[in-house]
Copies of this chain bind each other. A is one copy, B any other.
Amino acid sequence: MGLDIQSEIDVVKVASSKINQVDFENLAFGNVFTDHMLMCDFKDGKWERPTIKPYEPFLLDPSAKVFHYGQAIFEGMKAYKDDNDDIWLFRPDENLDRFNKSATRMAMPEVPEHIFIDGLKEILKIEKEWVKKGLGNTLYIRPFMIAIGTGVIAQPSTQYRFMIILSPAKSYYSGEVKVIIAEHYSRAANGGIGAAKAAGNYSAQFYPTKLANDQGFQQIIWTDDATHTTLEEAGTMNVFFRINDTLYTAPTSERILDGVTRKSLIDLAKREGINVAVQPVLVSEIVEAAKNGSLKEIFGAGTAAVVNPIVGFSYQDVYYELPKTENSIALELKEKLTNIQHKLAEDTFGWTVKV
């Protein structure tokens, strides 16, 4: 980028790291954070100088707009360490691009690359000990932006805070995932904010998901809100269906998040000679395929779990169990993708970026 990053970011380091208190073998997702965080405020129409400083609580006014109007967006990414102790990112430009699309939809300012990407690289260099080697070990990266301007009038804030926090993660095994197809609740409206990683989209799912959990299902497969006839996402992941040897997944839309994992899996599958059909997927087609035995697999795709195989689904009070597959496309693609991410396989796509 031609910028001298060091001189663009203020760095205040912790007196002593807490890394030795962390049990890296027993990490729950997203509740341990590294020693530092990146913080950068937007004020008077421009971004101030970013600071990397000790991870700690910060003060906000009770009338901050994020509390009242949910003006907040985020991203989810990972850093990986290879055998040479180099640290890698996976398609970070995609996350920056999506973050700024989310920002626009939420009437927030875009975050420039030199803050988002260069800031991220800088904090990763400082936290390099927190990225552990070995397949499945990653450092989960959470960039986010919140409206910190004050006042309870329902209007966009004029002040924002961009932050990056980091949380070490183990490979994510979610147990047997059974899902229920949404017949009443929904995740996104036409003309709404479903395609943005806007904070409010996620809390909106908590209650319906709790109801699903109470019925013994770990996740909901979301359908379109108007007719509940097309399948859109699984929980907070994109979703794929394998019928015979073809993978089906919905095209992205203003109701569906344009997932980096989804698009990478599509490219990988195509390279492997697997048929991929990106087209609206009807509930009726999947039920029919489950009945006649042609439905082989369903899986979610997202940064946290990479690929999340689903063992069965419920629709209109009938539970459809999927067959056990000998050669799972889900697991094959997951392995191929994680090998690229961890630099264990050649990255012919040019997806990985060295920190």
Contacts from A to B (Cβ < 8 Å): 28-31, 33, 37, 55-63, 65-72, 74, 104-107, 140, 142, 144, 146-147, 150-156, 163, 165, 167, 182, 184-193, 198-208, 210, 225-227, 236
Name 13 interchain pairs, CB-CB below 8 A, sorted by A: A37-B62, A58-B60, A60-B60, A70-B200, A70-B201, A106-B203, A154-B202, A155-B206, A156-B206, A182-B191, A186-B192, A189-B192, A225-B225
A61: nearest residue on chain B (CB-CB)? B57
Contacts A30-B152, A57-B60, A151-B30: A68 and B142 contacting too (C-beta < 8 A)?
A: yes
A69: nearest residue on chain B (CB-CB)? B202
Nearest Cβ on chain B to A230's Cβ, whole angstroms: 13
Is B105 a contact of A207 with CB atoms below 8 Å?
yes
A207: nearest residue on chain B (CB-CB)? B107
Most chain B beta-carbon contacts within 10 A, residue among A163, A189, A207: A189
Is A188 a contact of B191 with CB atoms below 8 Å?
no
Most chain B beta-carbon contacts within 10 A, residue among A30, A142, A152: A152
Most chain B beta-carbon contacts within 10 A, residue among A30, A67, A155: A67
Residue of B62, B140, B153, B225 near A29 (CB, 8 A) is B153
Is B144 a contact of A67 with CB atoms below 8 Å?
yes
Given contacts A57-B60, A70-B199, A188-B192, 18 further A-B contacts (CB under 8 A): A29-B152, A30-B151, A57-B61, A58-B59, A63-B167, A67-B144, A68-B202, A70-B70, A71-B203, A71-B206, A106-B203, A106-B207, A140-B152, A152-B167, A156-B206, A156-B210, A198-B200, A200-B200
Is B150 a contact of A31 with CB atoms below 8 Å?
yes
Is A203 a contact of B31 with CB atoms below 8 Å?
no
A199: nearest residue on chain B (CB-CB)? B70
In Å, the complex CA distance between A25 and B23 comes to 59
Contacts A106-B207, A225-B190: A151 and B182 contacting too (C-beta < 8 A)?
A: no
In Å, the complex CA distance between A59 and B64 comes to 12
Contacts of A71 in B (CB 8 A): 203, 206
Is B226 a contact of A190 with CB atoms below 8 Å?
yes
The 3 A-B residue pairs with the shortest CB-CB distance, nearest first, are A200-B200, A70-B199, A226-B226
Residue of B29, B66, B165 near A66 (CB, 8 A) is B66
Nearest Cβ on chain B to A217's Cβ, whole angstroms: 15
In Å, the complex CA distance between A210 and B106 comes to 10
Contacts of A67 in B (CB 8 A): 66, 72, 144, 146, 199
